[in-house]
Structure formats: structure tokens, C-alpha cells
Amino acid sequence: MPFYTIFFIAFGISFTVAPLIMMLANNSGAVALPGGRHIHARPTPKFGGIAIALSVFALSPFIVPVNRVIGSYVAASAIMLLLGIIDDMRGMNWKVKLTLSITATSIMIFGTGIWIESLGNLFGLGEVHLGYWGIPFTFFAVFGVINAINLTDGLNGLACGVSSIAFLSFSIFASMIGNETVFYLSLINLGATLGLFRYNYPKAKIFMGDSGSMFLGFSLAVLSILLTQGREAVIRPMVPVIILGIPIFDTVRVLIFRIINRKHPFRADKTHLHHLMMRSGINPNHVVKIIWILSALMSALAFVLYRFDGWIMMVVYFIFIALIGVYVENLSIIRSNKSKKTPANSSLH
């Protein structure tokens, strides 16, 4: 089956079932109410992740001969979807989330025999091999990416857009090295995510919910590992880190600040990049587009640097992230200075 046919079928399934999912969410009480941390003005159904997942589950067995990787991915991601659905309906303790995430990751690791065994030449001293220590590191990395996407899902279309950019980048890298499994899984996830996008942006008729952010986060983490690890992997491990650089940076930054301020590291707040941008006076729709652009630039950077050693990629990534961090942290000051200059400048015309 041609790749573009698979993409459009994935898009079509997600786009078609989304309205039915809205009805399901409304009838089951999985609705995000206005107020508190939320900025939306009316009750909005969640469960958007179900539309994405159904599309992925329907097409995954047909992309290549079913193998351990496909089977393990479908089984493990189904657990993440179920976890998200329950969380959307009634909430769930972070310890339970962690336990189920570990279960899903275990299925993926031991079902495929692939984990983060190599970090590449990360320090300029040769390739860093983790061996079996890579297994606990993989649990940590997967949980980190899941949380990064989950925490990004704070504005209409934000997580959908960031995830779509990453899936597109993964599919291109996979096609470059002939990794059909990652190529088709990325393409299906891309089509399914864009199928929901029409209902999620600019005015959300449905939210992805935790069912969506956890499913997409897990999928992105798994595809990152499959793309960079294993005997035939030639893409350096820093590549997916750069592609997912914006949500990863935001998550690490927020966790560090929470720990410094002696707050619960997993308790939601309003200190993320999109919150800081809105607090400086930027329109939410513009915030979403800015973060999309930043994510696209990070993906472009990954394509520019993918032939370089890991330590070079890491240094360049940290420079870019540091510049973005300084800009965002001082955004309110920058905008304040611009507003003060505006009257003076306008008087010259």
C-alpha cells in the first residue's frame, strides 16, 4: 500500500470518528469545565486521543508483516490509552500513572528487545554504551517524554502541532535509512493526529485529553528509541532529543523550578512556556504558532546536524535552548520596553 494512501486513511479514520468520540465524552462525563487553570470559556469534551489511537490501531497491522515491534507497540500503547481515558474521566494518582507507564514500557522493551543501549558520542570521548543499565534509563526517558507532551497540552492545537512536526521528522529520517517500521508508524500517527487537529484548533470542539497526550507521548518516545537503537540504527540518539527539544526543555525547566521552590514536581501549575508567553500579553493563538515555529526550527536543526557527533549536537542544542529560555523569561520586559517606545516612534510619522 502506498505511503500516501496510508496517511490519508489514517487521517480519514481519525477525522470521521472524532464527532462520535465527542458524544462519547459528553455522555461519560469526560468534559473539561472552564475555570481554575483552564482558559476555555465553555465545557469541552475530552477523549480526543481515542480518535487518534483507533486510527493507529486499525492500520498498524497492515503496514508491514506483523512482527514483535508492531505487536508490542500496539499492546503497550493501548495501556497508555486506557490510562489516559481513566484519567480523563475521574483523574488518577501520579503513582498509578507511573506504574502503568512502567508496565507499558516493559512490554515495549522486553517485547522488542530494544532499549536505549547507546547515547552516542555524547561527551567527545567515544560512544557511551549503557548496556543493561540502559533499561532503567529507558523507563526514565519514556516517562519523561510522556510528561513533556502531557504538559505541552495546555492550549488549543499546541500538543497536536508539536507532535505532528515530530512525527513528520521521524518519518523522513526513517525513510532516509530504510526503517519501514518507524516510517509507517510515524506516518500513521501523523495522519491520525492531523485528523483530530481540525476539531482541536483554532476553537477546540474537543480536547486531546490525557488519552491523547499520553498516547502521543508514548508513541513519540517509542519511535525515538526504534529510530536510534538496535543493530541497524544509524541515526544518532541526540536527533530525537533535538526534534522534541522544546517540550523536553520546558518540562525540565518547570521541574527544576518546582524543586527549587519546594513544590510538588508533578503538581500542575502555570509556569510553562505558553503560560509565560500569555502572561507577557501575547495572544494564545499567537503563542501556539510561535511554539510550532520553534519546534519546526528544532526539527530543521536536527536535519542540519544529524551527521555530526552527539557532543556537537548537544552543545548546539543547549545554545539554542539557552537563547530561547532567556528570551521567554525576559519576554515581559522586552514587550514592556517596546510598548514604551511605540508612542515616541509613532510621533515621528
Count CB neighbours of 168 within 10 A. 19
Is 290 exposed, middle or buried (CB count within 10 Å of its CB: 0-12, 13-18, 19+)? middle
Helix, strand, coil percentages, rounded to 5, for the chain: 75, 5, 25
Instruction: Write the CA distances from 161 to 39, 140, 167, 247, integer angstroms.
Output: 19, 24, 10, 12
Instruction: Write the CA distances from 300 to 186, 242, 305, integer angstroms.
Output: 17, 9, 9
- Give residue 2's pLDDT: 74
- Give residue 37's pLDDT: 58
Contact 310, 237 (CB under 8 A): yes
Cis peptide before 19 (omega within 30 of 0): no
- Give residue 335's pLDDT: 58
- Give residue 36's pLDDT: 58
234-289 pLDDT, tens digit each: 899 999 999 999 999 999 888 887 788 777 666 666 778 887 888 888 888 999 99
Alpha-carbon distance of 224 to 244, in angstroms, equals 10
Beta-carbon contacts of residue 237 (< 8 Å; ≥ 6 apart)? 116, 118, 119, 120, 122, 228, 229, 310
**Segments of the chain with pLDDT less than 70:** 1, 35-41, 64-65, 264-269, 332-349
β-strand partners of 35: 38
- Give residue 327's pLDDT: 81
The cell 521521524 sits on which residue? Answer: 170
Amino acid symbol at 62: F
- Give residue 330's pLDDT: 77
- Give residue 345's pLDDT: 46
* Residue 281 Rama label (left phi>0; alpha psi -120 to 50; beta): left
Mind spelling out the 3-state secondary structure of 201-239?
A: CCCCCCCCHHHHHHHHHHHHHHHHHHHHCCCCCCCCCHH
Query: By three-state DSSP, how is residue 98 classified?
Result: helix
Helices and strands (H and E) in the chain: how many: 14, 4
